[in-house]
Amino acid sequence: LRKPLKINNSAQRLAAPGNASAPSAGPSVAPGGDGGVAVSPWDIALCATGTAVAGENALVLAVLFYTPSLRAPMFLLIGSLALADLLAGLGLVANFAVRYLLRPPSEAAELGAAGLLLAAFSASVCSLLAITVDRYLSLYNALTYHSERTLGFTCAMVLLMWLLCLGVGLLPLLGWNCLREPSACSILRPVTKDNAAVLAVTFLLLFALMMQLYLQICKIAFRHAQQIAVQHQFIATAQATSTRKGLSTLSLILGTFALCWIPFAIYSLVADSSYPAVYTYSLALPATCNSLINPIIYAFRNPDIQKSLWLACCGCVPSTFSARPRTSSDV
C-alpha cells in the first residue's frame, strides 16, 4: 500500500499550481515507462511548437550560411534572430525531455533547460530591437549609414548582446532560482517572482522603445515617399499605395510582437505560483509562437533570401520573381 501512496503524493506535488513541471488538468497521455507522470497536452503543444521553431529557423541559418551574397550587416542581424529562435525551440524540446523523460529528475538539468530558454528568448527580443535600430538608422542617416556601418562593428555589437543574454541565462544556475524556496516561485519555475517581475518590466520597456522607433521609421518613410512623389511627379494613387504598404508592414511587425508577448509579460507581473497553471500555458504558447512567426516576417519576406531559397530548392528562379530594391515603404 505504501508504494501507490508515494506515487499519488508525487503526482499531487507535480500538479501543484505554478509548478513549471505541473501538467494541467484535462486529458493527458502517459509517457513511456512504468509509473510515469502523466504528460500535459499543453507541454506536448509546447514541444511540438519548439520542434517547428527549431526546424524553420535552422532553414534560415542554412540559407544565410551557404549563400555568399548574404553577408551584409542586415543579414547578420537576421541570422542572430534565427539563432536565438533556434535555441528557443531546442530549449522547449529540452525542457520537455527533462520534465518527462529524464529519470531520475536532475536539478542541474532543470536549471540548464530554464537557463537556455531565458538566454534564447532574451537574445530573440534583443535581436528584434537591434533590427529595429538598424532600420531606423538606415533611414535617419540614409546617405551615410551604409558606408559608416561595417560588418566588424555589427559583429561586435551582436557578440556583446549575446554575452549579455548568456549572462541572463546563467542566473538560474548561479543560485537565482526558487528550488529551495517553492513559495518564492513565479509562474515560471524555477524563476523567482522578483526575477520574473524584473524580466517582464525590462521586456515592456524594450517594447516601448521598439514602438517609438517604428513610429519614427514610419514618419521618415512617409516623408521620403512624399519627396520622391514630388520629384518624379507621381500621381496621388501611387503615393497612397506606398503609404498604405508602409503602414501595413508596421502594423504587422508591432501587432504580431505585441499580441504574442504583451499578455504573457503583464501576466508575469500580476500572477504568482498560486494561479492555475492553465493560464500560464495559454499565454506562454502564443509567446513561443512568436519565434515561429519571426522568420516569416524578417527572413522569408526578404527578396534576396527568397531568391536563395528558390535556387536551393528548385535550382532556378521563376521568371515571375522580381527581386526589386527595398524602398522607404519597406519598413
Give pLDDT tens digits for 150-187.
788 889 999 999 999 999 999 999 988 998 888 889 99
Question: What are the phi and psi torsion angles at 105 (to 5°)?
Answer: -60, 145
Based on C-alpha coordinates, what's the Rg of the chain? 23
The pLDDT, as a whole number, for residue 183 is: 87
Any idea which fold 38-314 has?
Rhopdopsin 7-helix transmembrane proteins (1.20.1070)
| Distance in Å from the first CA to the final CA of the chain | 66
CA–CA dist 287, 262 (Å, integer)? 9
Find the Cα–Cα–Cα–Cα dihedral 328, 329, 330, 331, rounded to 10°. Answer: 80
Handedness of CA 294, 295, 299, 301 (dihedral sign): negative
Q: Does residue 185 sit in helix, strand or coil?
A: strand
The per-residue DSSP string of 170-182 comes to HTTTTT-S-SS-G
Position 31 scores a pLDDT of 32
pLDDT at 148: 64
Contact 139, 217 (CB under 8 A): yes
For residue 80, give the DSSP letter: H
Q: Are 54 and 89 spatial neighbours (Cβ–Cβ below 8 Å)?
A: yes
- pLDDT in the model for residue 120: 97
Low-confidence residues of the chain: pLDDT under 70: 1-37, 146-149, 225, 228-247, 315, 318-331
Q: What is the pLDDT of residue 145?
A: 72
- From CA 260, how far away is CA 276, in angstroms rounded? 20
CB 132, CB 331: distance < 8 Å: no
